[in-house]
Every structure is written in C-alpha cells, then in structure tokens.
Amino acid sequence: MPDLTHFDARGNAVMVDVSQKAKTERRAVATGQIRMCCECYQAVRQGSAQKGDVLGVARVAGIMAAKRTDSLIPLCHPVQITQASIDFDFLDQACSIAVTCAVNTSGVTGVEMEALTGVSIALLTIYDMCKAMDKGMEMGRILLVEKSGGKSGTYHCKRI
C-alpha cells in the first residue's frame, strides 16, 4: 500500500507539495449510472421531462463541477483544466443512464478527482430534475475508468 501523502508525520491533514513534480499531459475518465422507473427514463430519453432538457442541464452542471473540484474537496489542488466533457449512454434494459466525464490538463497533478466530481454532480442533477417523477432513483457504480500522465503512468480499470 503506498504512503498516504495527505498526512504529515504527526497525522495531520496537509495539501501535498507538488512544486517539484514535472508538468505532463494528464487525462482522467470516470463513469457512473443512475437507474430510474421506466416512465421517468422514457421522459428523459425523449426529452419530454417537465423541467426541460435534463441531460443538457446535467452536462453543464458536470462540467462546471469538474472545474470547481478544488472548492469542494478540501485537499485538492486547483487545476487548470484544458478540456472537460460529459457524455450519456442509455441502458434501455435497466432503465438506466450511464454518465461519463473526461477531463484533460497539462500540469503537475492529475484530474481523477475532477472527473469523478463531474460524474457525481451530473448524476445528482439528473436526480434533482427528475425527482418529481421518481424519488426512488438509484445512483451508483461511480468509478475511475482510466487515467494517464504523471509519475504513476497509465491506469485502466479492470472492474468494468
């Protein structure tokens, strides 16, 4: 198990010093899903939800959240994001929507937290816009799919 770098020798939380790290191209992709009742799923898929363009709003919310991750997660560094996207896949059999967030930067620290935050907020936005139709929606399977760049190199999730 690698050392936990967010703690000093006395066990106090610290922001990691990245001043000596090399600037590299970095990318992270995360995904998550939201499952809902079939009526709600069809309304979102057809764009007929009462509150409007659910996925359009969720896309913007996810991108905005990725850009503001350092304001939400206490020990995250501010990252100059060079690209962020949110995409959706419809999983008809499960009445679920898969959300994918991809984030790129050229810097000294990775963007895994930004991708995971983008996915999480996009899912929460879908829930918020659809809760009148289905309060029992389930969000889950939020995970880092891949990352590249930096000292630790490339990672591809084997759990998918």
Amino acid at 112: E
Look up the pTM and report it: 0.92
- The verdict on whether 92 is a catalytic residue reads no
Contact 106, 25 (CB under 8 A): yes
Tokens matching residue 85? 């996207």
Neighbours of 21 (CB within 10 A): 13
Q: How far apart are CA 64 and CA 118, in angstroms?
A: 8
Using the predicted structure, report yes or no on whether residue 140 has a pLDDT greater than 60: yes
**Residue among 53, 70, 87, 128 flagged as catalytic:** 128
Burial (CB count <10 Å: 0-12, 13-18, 19+), residue 97: buried
Instruction: Name the average pLDDT for the chain.
Output: 93
CATH class of this structure's domain 29-149: alpha beta
pLDDT, average across residues 83-92: 98
